Structure 1
Amino acid sequence: MASKLHQVQAKLLQASQFVTKHGSAYHKQLLEQNKQYIVDPPTAEKCNELAKQLFYTRLASIPGRTESFWKELDYVKNMWKHRHELKVEDAGIAALFGLECFAWFCAGEIIGRGFTFTGYYP
């Protein structure tokens, strides 16, 4: 156990030395590559303004998203009405989608219980 701890400490020391040596250059390169996204002057007031713009822009996009949702729902209803014309590929895709939704639900439940599989808290 002590040898593993020593190995981990050595790796961490090596990683921190690498970051110390190359971190500044990486930071400068990253800022240079993405300078079109940087707002000048970078002040707290400008950050607050951008945050408000993002919030209200997303708020304004809700009607369009709602309209898209109802169109998708109408499409599903239409497919259900004409299910006798449904191809095997479409049914397979729908089954995989349902399975994926169920898997995400199960993963969320496990995460919500603190990564326990039984739900038992000792």
Structure 2
Amino acid sequence: MASRLQQLRSKAVQASEFVSKHGCTYYKELMEENKRHVVQPPTIEKCQELSKQLFYTRLASIPVRYESFWKELDGMKHIWRNRKDIKVEDVGIAALFGLELYAWSCVGEIVGRGFTFTGYYV
């Protein structure tokens, strides 16, 4: 256990050294590449205004998303009504998609518990 802790510490030190050496240049390059997205002047008031615009824009998009939800549901109803015409390939793809969703849910639970399988810290 102590050797693993020492390894973890050495890796953390290496990462910290790398960030301290290259972090500033990475930041400058990133800001230079994305300067078209920066609002001038970058003030707290402007950030608050943009935050409110984003919030209310998302609120305004709810009716459009609501309509698209019902269109998707109508499509599913149509598929269900014509389920005799569904191909085996389509069923297989849907089953794989459902399995993938379930797997992501399981992985999310494991990550949420701190990468433990039992839920208890050892």
When normalised by structure 1's length, the TM-score is 0.79
| Distance 1:118-1:22 versus aligned 2 partners, 3 A rule | closer
Name the structure 1 match of 2:10: 10
Q: Please show how residues 62-77 of structure 1 align to structure 2 within 5 Å.
A: 62-77=62-77
Please give the per-residue CA displacement for 1:30-60, whole angstroms capped at 9, x wherever unaligned: 1001101111111100000000000001001
Name the structure 1 match of 2:47: 47
Name the structure 2 match of 1:88: 88
CA-atom RMSD, angstroms? 2.8
Mark the runs of 5 or more structure 2 residues left unpaired by the alignment: none
Name the structure 1 match of 2:37: 37
| Distance 1:84-1:9 versus aligned 2 partners, 3 A rule | closer
Q: Distance in 2 between matches of 1:47 and 1:31?
A: 17
Question: Is residue 2:82 matched to residue 1:102?
Answer: no
Q: Distance in 2 between matches of 1:116 and 1:14?
A: 26
Shift of residue 3 of structure 1? 4.7
Question: Is residue 2:27 matched to residue 1:27?
Answer: yes
- What percentage of residue pairs aligned between the two structures are identical? 68
Residues paired across the two proteins, number = 121
Shift of residue 109 of structure 1? 5.3
Q: Which amino acid aligns with 1:91?
A: V
